[in-house]
Structure 1
Amino acid sequence: MATVLLAEYLFTRLRQLGVGSVHGDPGDYNLDLLDYVAPAGLCWVGNVNELNAGYAADGFARIKGIGALITTFGVGELSAINAIAGAYAEHGESRALGIVEDVQALIKSTNWPSRMTPYGKGLFDETLSNFHGVYKGKIDDPAPQELFDQADLIMCLGPHWSSSNTYEYSTIPKADANVAPREPITHDKLWRIFSEYLLPDDIILEGTGTAGHGIRELLLPPLTRLFGPATWLSIEYMLPAAQGAALAQRELQQERSRDNVLKQETKSGRTILFIGDDSFQMTAQELSTIIRHDLNVVVFLINNNGYTIERCIHGLHERYNAIARWRYLRAPSFFGVEDDAFTTSVGTWEELDEALNDERLMDGKGLRMVELCLDREDVPRGPLVACLERERRQIEGVMPRRGI
């Protein structure tokens, strides 16, 4: 009876399932296994650590439906466990697979008023006249709240009822039913402006922070995919995940081109990451993997000097919510990017407009990076504003401090 080695079988099946790349790190107990990666036709990514590798494999899986991660025994797998737990918590590898096209057809054919949760953003055509954006529950405007509360029927498809995805559970249905150019950029208008920069087939990742709230205001073009924090809320996740998603996007485009199904309107191939300075400092070294594999990634780094969400919750002016001041735009050069790579820092609407209309950013390839300088107490409209105002009142003594 014919036999096949276990390693050969595993990597052959991964290739058959559409996986073209394996994330991970070499270690004493997996070196023999790694000898079988390349012969199976797979790309060995080689991440900078196992935790980042796990995040990258998750990001890869959200684009292609499945990802692969190899760690070494003990220390490697324990290092990756937070990424694996996050993938399980948010069902990263199966998010919305098999339902998107059907729901899209339902929204278009019925013309029913349609909204989504933050975790579902990016799955549907937001240019339809009956699409009304993310429903914000108890902090939304009165009109959509009234429509929601008085509706005879609310159809929920693929619900994910976490507190962060439902505005503290207020979106769960009941059981029975132009700016001054030289002014500084602010969250309240920033995200709608970014809508004009996006292209069909872009992949967008939003960090767990102010970006995760602001990005809900984006109007996405068709075929755009968006991934953001919903349950696990690990702030280290998004940069490594962007690497994985960008690699998966490139593989998909290569497959479409080979099969002659790559359309002109879906040739963007960009992975766009919105990430805070605090999150970036935790996994900045993964830029080296993006550069090493020449991935098409645009990083918009929000520099507000620290943990702004934590400031809103507690410790508005405390040092423990501050971080070291980095010269962020030097990071790509340090990690090996070419000298002509596009990097810029913007702090006004005029500077932002100039950057977003620069063809090197819009149509370039490889890593590009834009630093967005915002005030440390500027946050998007919504729950963060309420938290910030409460913290300010507590500092002023208007409200009592919470006990422990």
Structure 2
Amino acid sequence: MTTVATRLIARLRELGVEDLFGVPADYNLAFLDEVYASELRFVGTCNELGAAYAADGYARLRGAGAVLTTFGVGELSAVNGIGGAYAESVPVVEIVGAPSTRAADARLPMHHTMADGDFGRFERLHAEVTCDRVTLTAEHAAEEMDRVLRSCWEHKRPVRIALPTDLVHAPAPAPDEPLLPEVAPVPPHLLAGFRAVAAGLLAGAVRPAVLADHLAERHGAHEALADLVAAGPLPAAAMNMGKGVVDESAPTFAGMYVGAASAPGTRAVVEQADCLITVGVLISDGNSGGFTHAFPAGRTIEVGASETRVGDAVFRDLPMAEALAVLTGIVRDAAVRFPLPEQPPRARVDAEPHAPLTQAALGDRFAAFVRPGDVVVVEQGTAFFGVVDTRMPPGVTVVSQVLWSSIGYTLPAALGTCVAAPDRRTLLVIGDGSLQLTAQELGTMARAGAAPVVLVLNNGGYTIERAIHPTDAPYNDIAPWRYADLPAAFGAGDRALSRRVTTAAQLDAALAEADRNPDRMVLIEAVLGPEDYPGRLAAIAAKYRPGTAGRTPAAQVPAGTRR
């Protein structure tokens, strides 16, 4: 017999979800029994926030993720992670074990409530951080769960499904059609109209360029984007949130574009283009160098998730991949070889092997350590600014949280990527301050058999804050943890290898050891100076220091700050 629970599990698997992150609690235990009886694997985390972050990281690789919480206390613990997934367009399904419908109808003062009979409070709260939500009922459970799950997939944002305890084993009709309907073909007249307008703009272009961002990946247009770039070939830059969305090993790669903080060559490719094709771009402070971006006026084709603009012409209900396919045809038919950016050779940092380790030497060695196909998870702080200019090999996926910038996100997110893609190596770069918020999930990694390489930047506190607001005040200092001891403290035992390094030579040895131990978690604590800033961070932070003439308003402080 199909029940509400078994149908929900089946529908999750249709979305590609094979693992469920969460914390067991009395309101969700009956559902968990059904999970354990199914092919869906439960990954228990230390708290619900970590579970939400893990589901986010998982979804960025698998297309969707899922987290299980309990009513009230559990979902409020997870809500920051759900908010981040909403901000960054990540489809996460939050399943909330809820009190029975009988208790809700009688307005009983149940635990995990405010004892005022209002059982809709937390669903209303989630209206601000989800694209859809529902509390399932016996009469409409099947169609309502399907509706909400389709919203999650279509809009690429989180949803909340509350499952009352007395409905877990309630009968439900077995699915009689796929959850995701076939995509309707784009009307020919829409494609023809777009082709005519876009061809007109591209016809006289001699310096066209592509600028790509994260929404190209979220909406499944990665391959269509690669086809467009190759058709010219066209120079292609990426924004911070879209790090890795274009092939950085190719001669077409023009670098990372962050407005005035871009490398001069990258800035010229984007800002001097006579036809700029933007793909899935989101303009935010941290994505644009504090809103210092400058796109060529009247010469931009803006390809969005379901809408494309060419000047004043707007083409609605045009999927991103379809729009890119049209542009690929136009560029290929032009049969013109467009100028590509020069690729300066990567200069290795000459570091005295036994001198104190620096950000420059660390970044250089990390760049050499990354392999094709790796998953690089990098915290939005000094870690991100040290990695953002690393040219990634082909097939590398970069996971970061540039817009939401929630400190501590990446460690649980790396748990999610390890579970989502166990055949790929996950490399996590995280600062000491960020790690202190979610360090306990190292234990979950070990229990789940995950084997990431974790590079902890120990610079004694919130170095990104020091860069933005230099001060001797102690609020940027943190407790001096013994980071290399953490895997053992969290129960990893011989499944983990830990090293503390203070010099370039020691880091080289630790990275080589990590290569020799692919089946073990490897944590490398890299000790750095508290005011040793990556070059990109030093350039950007100076713009935002209090008292700086002409600085950006406080509301535009770059992503990566603590609050």
Q: CA deviation at 1:148?
A: 3.0
Aligned to 1:133: 255
Aligned to 1:161: 283
Aligned to 1:85: 83
Selected match of 2:365 from 180, 183, 193? 193
* Identical positions, percent: 38
Selected match of 1:316 from 457, 462, 471? 471
Specify the code of the residue in structure 2 equivalent to 1:167.
G
- Counterparts of 2:224 and 2:400, CA distance in 1: 22
Q: CA deviation at 1:58?
A: 0.6
Task: Give structure 2 stretches of 5+ with no counterpart.
Answer: 92-155, 157-214, 300-347, 555-563
Contact 1:191/1:218 (CA < 8 Å) preserved in 2?
A: yes
Aligned to 1:263: none
* Matched residue SS, 1:382: helix
Contact 1:136/1:167 (CA < 8 Å) preserved in 2?
A: yes
* Matched residue SS, 2:85: helix
Selected match of 2:222 from 85, 88, 100? 100
Q: CA deviation at 1:159?
A: 0.4
1:366 aligns with 2:520: yes
Q: CA deviation at 1:123?
A: 2.3
Q: CA deviation at 1:184?
A: 2.6
Aligned to 1:242: 414
Aligned to 1:26: 24
For residues 30 and 13 of structure 1, do their structure 2 counterparts lie closer, same or farther at Cα, with a shift above 3 Å needed?
A: same
- Counterparts of 1:300 and 1:317, CA distance in 2: 27
Q: What is the RMSD of the two structures over their aligned residues, measured on CA atoms?
A: 2.4
Summarize deviations over 1:117-139 as a string: whole Å, max 9, x none.
11111223211112122123212
| Greater relative contact order, per chain length (Cα 8 Å cut-off, separation 6+) | 1
1:216 aligns with 2:388: yes
Specify the code of the residue in structure 1 equivalent to 2:223.
E
Q: CA deviation at 1:162?
A: 1.4
* Matched residue SS, 1:155: strand
- Counterparts of 1:318 and 1:92, CA distance in 2: 37
Aligned to 2:338: none
* Matched residue SS, 1:232: coil
Q: CA deviation at 1:102?
A: 1.2
Q: CA deviation at 1:340?
A: 6.8
Q: CA deviation at 1:217?
A: 1.4
Q: CA deviation at 1:67?
A: 0.8
Aligned to 1:112: 234
Summarize deviations over 1:357-395 as a string: whole Å, max 9, x none.
23x44542131111111110111112434535975x97x
Q: CA deviation at 1:189?
A: 4.4
Aligned to 1:304: 459
1:375 aligns with 2:529: yes
1:276 aligns with 2:274: no
Contact 1:312/1:384 (CA < 8 Å) preserved in 2?
A: yes
The normalised TM-score by structure 2 is: 0.64
Q: Structure 1 stretch 334-343 or stretch 212-221: which is displaced more?
A: 334-343
Contact 1:208/1:235 (CA < 8 Å) preserved in 2?
A: yes
* Matched residue SS, 1:68: strand
- Counterparts of 2:225 and 2:13, CA distance in 1: 30
1:336 aligns with 2:334: no
Task: Give structure 1 stretches of 5+ with no counterpart.
Answer: 254-268
Q: CA deviation at 1:315?
A: 5.0
Contact 2:64/2:90 (CA < 8 Å) preserved in 1?
A: no
1:145 aligns with 2:267: yes
- Counterparts of 1:122 and 1:56, CA distance in 2: 20
Aligned to 2:448: 293
- Counterparts of 1:52 and 1:191, CA distance in 2: 27
- Counterparts of 1:346 and 1:19, CA distance in 2: 38
Aligned positions of 1:26-105 closer than 5 A: 26-93=24-91, 94=156, 95=215, 96=217, 97-105=219-227
Q: CA deviation at 1:172?
A: 4.9
* Matched residue SS, 1:339: helix
Contact 2:22/2:69 (CA < 8 Å) preserved in 1?
A: yes
Aligned to 2:356: 184
Summarize deviations over 1:243-293 as a string: whole Å, max 9, x none.
01110112xx4xxxxxxxxxxxxxxx2111100000101111000110001
* Matched residue SS, 1:211: helix
Aligned to 2:106: none
For residues 299 and 125 of structure 1, do their structure 2 counterparts lie closer, same or farther at Cα, with a shift above 3 Å needed?
A: same
Choose between structure 1 and 2: higher helix proportion. Answer: 1
Q: CA deviation at 1:92?
A: 2.1
Contact 1:162/1:230 (CA < 8 Å) preserved in 2?
A: no
Q: CA deviation at 1:45?
A: 0.6
Aligned to 1:207: 379
Q: Structure 1 stretch 94-103 or stretch 135-144: which is displaced more?
A: 135-144
Contact 2:361/2:504 (CA < 8 Å) preserved in 1?
A: no
Contact 2:273/2:296 (CA < 8 Å) preserved in 1?
A: no
Specify the code of the residue in structure 2 equivalent to 1:213.
F
Choose between structure 1 and 2: higher strand proportion. Answer: 2
Summarize deviations over 1:93-118 as a string: whole Å, max 9, x none.
34514211111122223122211111
Specify the code of the residue in structure 2 equivalent to 1:369.
L
Larger radius of gyration: 2
* Matched residue SS, 2:363: helix
Q: Structure 1 stretch 379-388 or stretch 156-165: which is displaced more?
A: 379-388
Specify the code of the residue in structure 2 equivalent to 1:103.
L
- Counterparts of 2:52 and 2:374, CA distance in 1: 22
Aligned to 1:266: none
Q: CA deviation at 1:332?
A: 0.4
